[in-house]
Structure 1
Amino acid sequence: MPTKRFFLRSLASALALTLGGAALHFSVLHAATTTAPSFPNKPVRIIVPVAAGGSADKLTRTLAERLSVLWGQSVVVENIAGASGTIGAAKVAKAAPDGYTLLQQGEGLTLNGILFRALPYDTNKSFTPIVKAVVSPQVLVVNPGTGLNTLADYLARAKAQPESISLALPGNGGIAHVAHEILAQETGAKVNYIPYPGGGPAAVDVIAGHANATLITLAAVTEYVRAGRLRALAVTTAYRSPALPQVPTVAEAAQLPGFSVESWQGYFAPVGTPQAVVQKINRDINLVLQSPEIRAQLEAQGFKVAGGTSADLAKSLQAEQPLYAHAIKTAGLALR
């Protein structure tokens, strides 16, 4: 289907350009000598709008621990799950614009703005971008007891026995949902989608056998795959992940040239937050991300460090909005 493949190639190109820009900006950011504001002088709260245990939670807790040391203040991670992340996002949108309440979000911020008819905030106007922290593949994993050993096995069963495979979704309408819908449209596979409040609960239920599979950010399940508790069938990016190099791409395993979906995770502040505070948070998160120990730790989990300026993240948001809108329309996902 040429239209979908054009979207996927365009998305990969747009994100590659964004990440390239982020890399160019980092050396300047790292060397900046701007006087930092007197921030923070009290605890900082980062709201993660999904349940604990998933990739977003793991990333944020890793950063929070290091930022606490750097700032000499507690950095508290608060999980507020529900409504595909919109409840947590709404809480940040209504918070004081002073840098003490931050939001962890990724492409879900854009997707929710497309999928929901009404939101308790304005996706384009309620938040100030701070930094795109990491990018990551999505990975399709199954319970080893399913007998599904390859993506070809998975697709064959999903076509021969429609909806016989239960797929735990880490959020309804998220990047995993969109990616799987594109895969389904390309191959004719039909599964039974079961929404979960986040990647952690979804992975746990697949391990326990309550669901057969999940499509999830790779960093959320690398340890489970290495331990043999989950079987990885394919990653959604055009490249294999160094964290699990034996796992093929969807493009390889399903013979779908051009298939590529890459997710990302970053941080936002309420609109109106002073630019000096935004710049300080951006600079310090970049410092943490670029430390050899943290970079190695995140890459071992399956993340790829991005970094860059707040302007880089703003450009990325602008680039992905029309592309995801096209993908959602093509996949037939209904507005809620």
Structure 2
Amino acid sequence: MLHVLRATGLAVLLAVAGASAVAQQAYPNRPVRLIVPFAPGGFTDVVARILGQKMSVALGQQFIVENKAGAGSTIGSDFVAKAPPDGYTLLMVSSTHVISPWIYSNLPYDPIKSFTVVGKLVDSPYVLLVHPKVPARNVQEFIAAAKAQPGTLHYASSGNGSAQHLMGGLFVAMTGAPLKHVPYRGSSGAANDLVAGVVESSFAGVPNALSQVPQGRLRALAVTTSKRAPQLPDVPTMQEAGVPGYDASVWLALLAPAGTPPDIVRRLNSEIAALMQAPDTRKALLDAGVEPTPSTPQEMSAYMTQELARWGKVVKDANIKLE
């Protein structure tokens, strides 16, 4: 009888272990929604579509990119914060995720506590781009031109509270250049009006520079990071261009709703890390103007907390408010 009980108990344990293994293997067993809280065609959207296509192949289920833009990325972020924590609704965020809380009052979610971090994806500088009608050939001439005619030079961004807005606000605060901010509903609109000469400048992603600068449609004056971008080796850093202490990058990360099971997070993180090492993925991302910098969930969680505090100080020091 004791042998029978032991055998039965062992069978139950094996069945439970087997069910757990099957459950882990089963994810994902239906399409996954990858929410981009920005308009199509922008920096985050481009990377999301590269990652979505690669993840679809790697995991055998479609990763469908959905754009839910508006209010400095808070609409899409709130949608994912309230989604079931089952791994089938994910959020690709940028630095804007930790900027918005300082710009928008009464957010319906907590940028840290409402999400489970899957991991960091990429880093990239922004580029100070100007329309050719602006006579400035470098940053110092651009600052001088802005000061000579206050209020006549504008910088476009993808919206109030966006990373582009903060990059420009930081530049204005550090240089005293009286640039006027012009928010758009997405980076594509800002980029189009910059090329058309409707606005004179923008702090834009490297892909915008790569698609417009070589043809002479725009002029690149500086990158925002402390080291030059490999895709734009001839463009100086902001510090090299005479703005000491200016150092800012934009990053992208993948989040899930708070409470997402750890085994799903580990699966996603490990697949992303493997994809980022693959030469074809790496090339696609570098061609898109970003550098793969995957991390563990724990590393990105700590970094996001640091970035939340850092950008809060920038918003306060630069006196950035919604227009």
For normalisation by structure 2, the TM-score amounts to 0.89
Residues 335 and 151 (structure 1 numbering): CA distance in 2 closer, same or farther, change over 3 Å? closer
Conserved? CA contact 2:99–2:161, under 8 Å: yes
Equivalent AA in structure 2 for residue 265 of structure 1: L
For normalisation by structure 1, the TM-score amounts to 0.85
Conserved? CA contact 1:37–1:276, under 8 Å: no
Deviates more, 1:293-302 or 1:316-325: 293-302
Instruction: After TM superposition, give the deviation of residue 171 of structure 1 in Å.
Output: 2.0
1:170 aligns with 2:167: no
Q: 1:157 aligns with which of 134, 145, 150?
A: 145
Instruction: After TM superposition, give the deviation of residue 273 of structure 1 in Å.
Output: 0.9
Equivalent AA in structure 2 for residue 283 of structure 1: S
Instruction: After TM superposition, give the deviation of residue 140 of structure 1 in Å.
Output: 0.8
1:246 aligns with 2:216: no
Count how many residue pairs are aligned between Structure 1 and Structure 2.
Answer: 301
Give per-residue Cα distances to partners, 1:242-281, cap 9 Å, x unaligned.
101111111111x222221111011100111111111111
CA–CA separation in structure 2 for the residues paired with 1:138 and 1:174:
12
CA–CA separation in structure 1 for the residues paired with 2:200 and 2:31:
41
Q: Which runs of 5+ in 2 are unaligned?
A: 1-22
1:89 aligns with 2:90: no
In the alignment, which residue of structure 2 is the partner of 1:281? 268
Equivalent AA in structure 2 for residue 224 of structure 1: Q
In the alignment, which residue of structure 2 is the partner of 1:300? 287
Give per-residue Cα distances to partners, 1:160-213, cap 9 Å, x unaligned.
111211211122122222222222122210112111122222111111222211
Q: 1:103 aligns with which of 72, 88, 91?
A: 91
1:333 aligns with 2:320: yes
Conserved? CA contact 1:199–1:220, under 8 Å: no
Residues 36 and 290 (structure 1 numbering): CA distance in 2 closer, same or farther, change over 3 Å? farther
Conserved? CA contact 1:136–1:219, under 8 Å: no
Instruction: After TM superposition, give the deviation of residue 114 of structure 1 in Å.
Output: 2.0
- Percent of paired sites with the same residue: 39
Equivalent AA in structure 2 for residue 181 of structure 1: G
CA–CA separation in structure 2 for the residues paired with 1:258 and 1:283:
36
Instruction: After TM superposition, give the deviation of residue 72 of structure 1 in Å.
Output: 1.6
CA–CA separation in structure 2 for the residues paired with 1:120 and 1:219:
32
CA–CA separation in structure 2 for the residues paired with 1:227 and 1:36:
50
Conserved? CA contact 2:32–2:63, under 8 Å: yes
Structure 1 or 2, whichever has the larger Rg, is 2
Instruction: After TM superposition, give the deviation of residue 335 of structure 1 in Å.
Output: 7.0
CA–CA separation in structure 2 for the residues paired with 1:177 and 1:281:
31
CA–CA separation in structure 1 for the residues paired with 2:270 and 2:24:
10
Greater relative CO (CA pairs within 8 A, separation 6+): 1
Residues 126 and 37 (structure 1 numbering): CA distance in 2 closer, same or farther, change over 3 Å? farther
In the alignment, which residue of structure 1 is the partner of 2:128? 140
Residues 219 and 131 (structure 1 numbering): CA distance in 2 closer, same or farther, change over 3 Å? farther
Q: Which runs of 5+ in 1 are unaligned?
A: 1-34
4+ residue stretches of structure 1 with deviation over 4 A?
A: none
In the alignment, which residue of structure 1 is the partner of 2:112? 124
CA–CA separation in structure 2 for the residues paired with 1:220 and 1:76:
24
Deviates more, 1:149-158 or 1:84-93: 149-158
CA–CA separation in structure 2 for the residues paired with 1:288 and 1:227:
32
Conserved? CA contact 2:46–2:288, under 8 Å: no
In the alignment, which residue of structure 1 is the partner of 2:225? 237
Instruction: After TM superposition, give the deviation of residue 298 of structure 1 in Å.
Output: 1.5
